[in-house]
Amino acid sequence: MIGRLNHVAIAVRDLEGAVATYRDTLGAEVSAPQAEPDHGVTVVFVTLPNTKIEFLEPLGEGSPIDKFLEKNPNGGIHHVCYEVDDIIAARDQLKAAGARVLGDGEPKIGAHGKPVLFLHPKDFLGTLTELEQA
Ligand code: CO
């Protein structure tokens, strides 16, 4: 069912510091920050030859990554995202297998303008898992 790794998302408190680390120390290609007020985050995309890394910094009150950063004050891997061909078929197959889909279970439009869903970390090795219809 799952295909390519689309991205690994890293939650950070200091987006500028994260950019400096990846751009200047690791020599990666890093995008300009993109505010996503609907998602409560500012995002920076790091383009690697085979996948992407996304930095997520809290934006505004009640960001969905506030709690994660309370538990992980230095930042950390927040979720992984895998591509699927058909997100509804994938969701239905996973639900039938007993996996929990977060929210109301309906795909939302993610940061790349494509439908995404999140799966409960307790069902996937303690890792918040995003599916994106590629
Ligand atoms: Co993501």
**Per residue in 64-123, pLDDT tens?**
999 999 999 999 999 999 999 999 999 999 999 999 999 999 999 887 889 999 999 999
pLDDT band at 38 (very low <50, low <70, confident <90, very high): confident
37 alpha carbon to ligand 1 midpoint, in Å? 15
98 alpha carbon to ligand 1 midpoint, in Å? 22
120 alpha carbon to ligand 1 midpoint, in Å? 14
By C-alpha distance, which of 52, 25, 64 is closest to 114?
Answer: 52
97 alpha carbon to ligand 1 midpoint, in Å? 23
Which domains are seen in the chain, by residue range? 2-133 (3.10.180.10)
Q: Is 27 exposed, middle or buried (0-12, 13-18, 19+ CB in 10 A)?
A: exposed
3-class DSSP assignment, residue 67: helix
> From the CB of residue 28, how many other CB atoms can be counted at a distance below 10 Å?
14
Within the chain, residue ranges assigned H as helices are: 15-20, 66-71, 87-96
> For residue 111, what pLDDT is reported?
78
Catalytic residue among 54, 57, 130, 132: 130
Share of the chain above pLDDT 70, in %: 100
- Tell me the whole-structure pTM to 2 decimals: 0.94
> For residue 84, what pLDDT is reported?
98
> For residue 97, what pLDDT is reported?
97
SS3 content of the chain, % helix, strand, coil (to 5): 25, 35, 40
- Rounded to a whole number of angstroms, the CA Rg of the chain reads 15
CA distance 134 to 62: 29
Structure tokens at 6: 């689309």
Mean pLDDT across the chain, nearest whole number?
A: 96
79 alpha carbon to ligand 1 midpoint, in Å? 7
Mark whether 16 is an active-site residue.
no
> For residue 112, what pLDDT is reported?
82
